[in-house]
Structure 1
Amino acid sequence: MAKIPNASVALVVGVTGMAGLSLAEALKKPTALGGPWKVYGTARRSKPSWFPSSIVDHFISFDATNLDDTIKNLFPISNEVTHVFWVAIQVRENEEANILINSTMLKNVVDVLKSGTSSPLCHVTLQTGTKHYIGPVFDPSLANQLVAHEPPFHEDMPRLPYPNFYYTQEDVLASYAPSISYSVHRPSIIIGASSRSVYNTLLCLAVYANICKHQGLPFRYPGNGYTWEHFNEASDARVLAEQQIWAAISEKFKNQAFNCTNGDVFTWKSFWKELCKVFNVEFVPFDEKEKFDVVEMMKDNASAWDKIVEEHGLLKTKMQDMIAAFAAIKAVLNLEFQLVSNMTKSRDFGFFGYADTLRSIEMWVRRLQDMNIVP
């Protein structure tokens, strides 16, 4: 393919996840900064039925952990791609394994795109998260010994003394300087729509609510009293996409890290009340004596979800594919500190995107329903 002079050509790696879907949609808007964009979207698996083909110019399925497969699929476009938007993630049994696989994927993709003699690649946008500030909370061998930074989290806090694949990915990108610039985006709990994201809090809570309705069970909060009453925050996938594009197109933001949250805070009590309204289930106040393990509960109700999927003719999702996300929910909802990031740096640099977290819940649930992922 011939190189298009002065064109903005994006490669969205992980386009079928929550962030990837919103990013591709944002890039293809006529008003997108730096546009008009040509968009290549990639994923490990084939395009799901709910994915709107109009938001990418080309969809590519390949395995970024395999260098030969990466060369086969990406070298032909290496003379086109100007910007990589990295929203991909693979999760393994511990953080050391996460470091190996996620850094390998990132390096394979950038190396192949840079290998062409006329490569126009100039910027990589890397999505990480607040695990940067709290450590690998999902690694069972480390979770009980972590000491997090004191919130609110801000971008110049030093790295924690624990293995973290986010740190390694940042180091990988820094190694390409000065030929490639990068920006790092650290969202909190991402709220969006997809059946493919490893950690999809809203999808899991929708599945949990529907199982409770189906089984005649109370929709109880699966966390602790601290998170029920104290402040948390979230990152709407649309705000995240807006920030990533904003940072990708200006020299001013070269090699900078930015927190990305909605700009408001909520308690999980208020979040739970909103979920109850959206799913039409009774609100049950938190009771410490009624604590339970949501991961084990979901494993026990896998067959109930299968019945719901069949009865409503939904996209065939399996509970076993959501257990990692439920385990993440269990960890986050049982924290003993407020999960809150400082957004001052973004404001200082000129980014003012925001979303009303509680008001966005219903919109994203309806989107999941329109995609035929939940009833």
Structure 2
Amino acid sequence: MEKENRQRSVALVVGVTGMAGLSLAQALKQPNCLGGPWKVYGAARSQPTWFPPSTVDQFIAFDAVDFASMQSNLSPIAHEVTHLFWVTVQFPGDEEANIAVNRTMLHNVLTALKSSPSSRLSHVTLQTGTKHYMGPIQDPTRSNQLVGHEPPFHEDMPRLPYPNFYYALEDLLASHAPSLTYSVHRSSIIIGASSRSGHNALVMVGAYAAVCQHLGVPFRYPGNRYTWEHFCDMTDARVLAQQHVWAAVTEKAKNQAFNCMNGDMFTWKSMWKFYSEVYDVEFKPFDESDAEFDVVEFMRDKGKVWDEIVEKHGLQKTKLEEIAQFNAMKPVLHFNFQHVSSMNKSREYGFFGFADSFKSVKYWVAKLREMKIIP
């Protein structure tokens, strides 16, 4: 009975080497974690050299797009898993391509887990984001035509009339009811620590700051005046992990969607000044000439510069294009609306996690330096 109780909750974290996945695995392994004690399997396409083995009970490498390979790797544990934490994503192209690949990945893993004759899978947590309210802002074929909801964003806003892989994944999970329950977690800009997340805002800004410092050029704000002066929010990966676990084991939260933000707001003017301090570069106030500055074009040919920075500071051997997708940062800093979401629903349902965004930035930048991802 004691052994059965220890194994009662078994998590499979798909995307464990990303920002959300790493924090989620660490949260689940805490001795006082809700619903625990947890046995934690972590999955990703490959295991990086920096990933600490003690973070999970077992690491499994597979490509979720390749069903045969994925099934052979998952079948030995399929009968154990009680909770699937889905925190992985691929962006192969336009939104139709995003829908196809992300839906295929989730469908394949669900099929492999549920096909076990003794399947125990009961709940899936799904990581999405505020594009639910804005539309596919990174789809170059649509980004200039989108009309999103007016902020602050809240969970009962209707879907927008654009293709969105978030919608497709929600529908896929809903189609499995009532054989399993699910929860949806809509984050803002996630900040955390990982060298495997090309969309890690702190790595992008850190790499950009390091290049500016290395070349002796100004650390210009790569956005517009509106975002410089108006409010935005972000999501600490630790708060996001807490919400995933809370929803996974809380009956009232089943089959619900929740925004997940730190609970505070900032202007990019104040945050950019803070970035200048933590990355040790001179603060440059925004001026109108910066509105024409294109960070994607500026960083496009800086791969060799980054290699020099890596060598100079003894960092992990990373390629700039692998750790920082600046085309993901550009639209966020060019919004003409305040990027803020309501956390009221989470609080009404009983989740009270929060973080100070400035303290979060300082904490995670220190972690990224400790991991030798940025100088």
Q: Work out the number of aligned pairs and report it.
A: 372
Distance 1:51 1:157 in 2: 38
What is the aligned partner in structure 2 of residue 40 from structure 1? 41
Shift in Å, 1:6: 6.0
Distance 1:301 1:5 in 2: 50
1:1-375 alignment, distance < 5 Å: 7-45=8-46, 47-290=47-290, 291-322=292-323, 325-375=325-375
**Which amino acid letter does the alignment assign opposite residue 36 of structure 2?**
G
Distance 2:82 2:102 in 1: 22
SS in 2 for 1:331: helix
Distance 1:320 1:278 in 2: 23
- Whether the 8 Å contact between 1:50 and 1:372 is mirrored in structure 2 is no
Distance 1:241 1:320 in 2: 27
SS in 2 for 1:241: helix
> Unpaired segments of 5 or more residues in structure 1?
none
Shift in Å, 1:300: 2.4
Shift in Å, 1:277: 0.9
- Whether the 8 Å contact between 2:197 and 2:323 is mirrored in structure 1 is no
Shift in Å, 1:18: 0.3
- Whether the 8 Å contact between 1:90 and 1:198 is mirrored in structure 2 is no
Q: Deviation digits for residues 44-100 of structure 1, max 9, x if unmatched?
A: 11x222212111000000000011011101111111000000000011110000000
Distance 1:336 1:343 in 2: 22
- Whether the 8 Å contact between 2:188 and 2:260 is mirrored in structure 1 is yes
Shift in Å, 1:311: 1.6
Distance 2:4 2:147 in 1: 49
Identity %: 63
Distance 1:265 1:48 in 2: 34
Shift in Å, 1:321: 2.0
Q: Deviation digits for residues 248-269 of structure 1, max 9, x if unmatched?
A: 0022111000000000000011
Distance 2:213 2:191 in 1: 22
- Whether the 8 Å contact between 1:63 and 1:70 is mirrored in structure 2 is yes
Shift in Å, 1:4: 7.3
SS in 1 for 2:60: strand
Shift in Å, 1:362: 1.3
- Whether the 8 Å contact between 2:261 and 2:341 is mirrored in structure 1 is yes
Distance 1:198 1:184 in 2: 22
- Whether the 8 Å contact between 1:230 and 1:268 is mirrored in structure 2 is yes
- Whether the 8 Å contact between 1:263 and 1:343 is mirrored in structure 2 is yes
Shift in Å, 1:312: 1.7
TM-score, normalised with respect to structure 1: 0.97
SS in 1 for 2:351: coil
> Unpaired segments of 5 or more residues in structure 2?
none
- Whether the 8 Å contact between 2:24 and 2:242 is mirrored in structure 1 is yes
- Whether the 8 Å contact between 2:11 and 2:39 is mirrored in structure 1 is yes
TM-score, normalised with respect to structure 2: 0.97
Distance 2:113 2:92 in 1: 26
Distance 1:371 1:3 in 2: 37
**Which amino acid letter does the alignment assign opposite residue 356 of structure 2?**
D
Superposition RMSD in Å: 1.3
Q: Deviation digits for residues 211-263 of structure 1, max 9, x if unmatched?
A: 11110011110000000000000000000000000000022111000000000
Shift in Å, 1:316: 1.4
Change (3 A) 1:145 1:3: farther
